[in-house]
């Protein structure tokens, strides 16, 4: 053991976790100790998908293969560590694209076997919440998690991120980011449309065109208390644009954004009130949305609740979210995943990781 390694261990006794993310188009690799992010590198194949207007799974899988080693080397260099320093590995096991996940999982298994480290196959969506610990310190004891991305819009009751997660609700159709991307396409904006529609909405009048809220009918309000639906809204926007081609796109974007964010924020705050949680933690790429941040803070303040949202660079898919969750599992002293696990494209959000059977 070299002197540097000895001093690292003496100064910082927490285990070093290597996190590997490959659920979609990003190859993300990061190193985390406790709640300290030491190195975090992301390579994306988004440029190769833009001309198709959506992610092409086969292209994404090949890009993961090409990016894996350079991303790993860059992350280790950024953290100033070597593979020999790694104490445990966490990789995304799902939910996500099977081909993309397979590349990351296979690489993680190879590394774990050759280094003799434990391997945790973790839930990417729960990682979107765990990552906030790297910015704002250990997560609150009990909290409502709002995950909003291109693939997910969910409300979770988290009593312990390593062991106790209850799914309160989710979208019945499109995810929030996906709805934004579809409206972007209708308006002729580049893919992914979410950030473009957000920018346009900021210039519009959110009361000029009022669109319906999903699941707001009396019969749906209790049954779908924590669920979302954005497909009717998308149809309403599409009809409006056809019937009123002269209407200002900025006003339409603002009215659309208000409908999505009204539902997300009202239901997140209701979940916090109903479950007596002081904190709401937000994660996922849609957490970049300007109106979501503003409206959630306003409504949480009014209800006496507190909000934590990671910085934007940690909201989009990255290895830090996987390493952060891995660090929580290791800190809770949980056993690693059995080495025979494979990708789980629709992994239940109640499972933070693939625990050995009989747990």
List residues binding Zn ion (CB under 5 A): 149, 317
**Which of the stretches 28-36, 52-60, 208-216, 282-290 binds ligand KG4 when contact is defined by CB under 6 A?**
282-290
Residues 165-184, interacting with ligand KG4 (CB under 6 A): 177-178, 180-181
Query: What distance in Å separates the CA atoms of residue 337 and residue 333, rounded to the nearest whole number?
Result: 12
**Is there a contact between 128 and 88 (Cβ–Cβ < 8 Å)?**
no
Residues 98-157, interacting with ligand KG4 (CB under 6 A): 149-151
What is the nearest approach in angstroms of ligand KG4 to the Cβ of residue 24?
5
Decide whether 123 or 263 has the Cβ nearer to Zn ion. 123
Which residue in 21, 132, 198, 251 binds ligand KG4 (CB under 6 A)?
198
What is the nearest approach in angstroms of ligand KG4 to the Cβ of residue 288?
4
Which residue in 192, 214, 255, 343 binds ligand KG4 (CB under 6 A)?
192
229 binds, among Zn ion, ligand KG4, none (CB under 5 to 8 A by kind): none
Query: What distance in Å separates the CA atoms of residue 357 and residue 337, rounded to the nearest whole number?
Result: 9
| Token couple for 233 | 């809204």
181 binds, among ligand KG4, Zn ion, none (CB under 5 to 8 A by kind): ligand KG4
132 binds, among ligand KG4, Zn ion, none (CB under 5 to 8 A by kind): none
DSSP category for residue 225: T
Residue by residue, DSSP assigns 87-148 as -EEEEEEESS-HHHHHHHHHHHHHHHHHHT--EEEEEHHHHHHHTHHHHHSS--SSEEEEEE
What is the nearest approach in angstroms of ligand KG4 to the Cβ of residue 273?
26
- Residue 171: strand, helix, or coil: strand
326 binds, among ligand KG4, Zn ion, none (CB under 5 to 8 A by kind): none
194 binds, among Zn ion, ligand KG4, none (CB under 5 to 8 A by kind): ligand KG4
Q: Is 262 a binder of ligand KG4 (CB under 6 A)? A: no
- The phi-psi region of residue 170 (left if phi > 0; otherwise alpha if psi is between -120 and 50; otherwise beta) is beta
Query: What distance in Å separates the CA atoms of residue 137 and residue 197, rounded to the nearest whole number?
Result: 32
CA 294 to chain centre: 19
By CB atoms closer than 10 A (0-12, 13-18, 19+), residue 135 is middle
By CB atoms closer than 10 A (0-12, 13-18, 19+), residue 254 is buried
Which residue in 286, 324, 343, 355 binds ligand KG4 (CB under 6 A)?
286
Q: Is 288 a binder of ligand KG4 (CB under 6 A)? A: yes
Residues that bind ligand KG4 (CB under 6 A): 24, 149-151, 177-178, 180-181, 192, 194-195, 198, 284-286, 288-289, 316-317
């Amino acid at each position: 053991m070299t002197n540097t390694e000895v001093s690292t261990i003496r100064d910082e006794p927490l285990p070093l976790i290597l996190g590997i993310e490959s659920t979609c188009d990003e190859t993300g690799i990061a190193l985390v100790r406790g709640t300290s992010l030491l190195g975090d590198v992301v390579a994306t194949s988004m440029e190769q998908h833009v001309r198709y207007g959506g992610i092409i799974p086969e292209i994404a899988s090949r890009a993961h293969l090409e990016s894996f080693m350079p991303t790993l080397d860059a992350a280790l260099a950024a953290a100033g560590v070597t593979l020999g320093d790694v104490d445990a590995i966490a990789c995304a096991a799902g939910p996500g694209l099977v081909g993309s996940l397979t590349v990351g999982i296979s690489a993680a298994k190879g590394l774990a076997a050759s280094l003799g480290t434990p391997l945790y196959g973790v839930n990417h969506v729960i990682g979107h919440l765990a990552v906030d610990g790297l910015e704002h310190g250990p997560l609150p004891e009990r909290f409502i998690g709002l995950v909003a991305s291109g693939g997910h819009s969910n409300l979770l009751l988290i009593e312990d991120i390593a062991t106790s997660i209850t799914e309160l609700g989710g979208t019945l159709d499109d995810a929030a980011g996906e709805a934004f991307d579809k409206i972007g396409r209708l308006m002729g904006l580049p893919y992914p449309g979410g950030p473009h529609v957000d920018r346009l909405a900021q210039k519009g009048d959110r009361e000029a065109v009022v669109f319906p809220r999903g699941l707001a009918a009396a019969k749906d309000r209790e049954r779908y208390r924590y669920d979302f639906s954005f497909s009717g809204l998308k149809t309403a926007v599409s009809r409006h644009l056809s019937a009123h081609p002269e209407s200002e796109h900025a006003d339409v974007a603002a009215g659309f954004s208000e409908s999505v964010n009204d539902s997300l924020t009202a239901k997140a705050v209701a979940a916090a009130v109903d479950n007596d949680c002081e904190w709401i933690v937000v994660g996922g790429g849609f957490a970049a949305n300007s109106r979501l941040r503003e409206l959630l803070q306003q409504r949480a303040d009014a209800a006496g609740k507190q909000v934590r949202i990671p910085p934007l660079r940690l909201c989009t898919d990255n290895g830090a979210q996987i390493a952060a969750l891995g660090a929580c599992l290791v800190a809770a002293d949980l056993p690693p995943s059995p080495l025979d696990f494979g990708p789980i494209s629709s992994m239940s959000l109640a499972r933070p990781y693939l625990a050995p059977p009989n747990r």
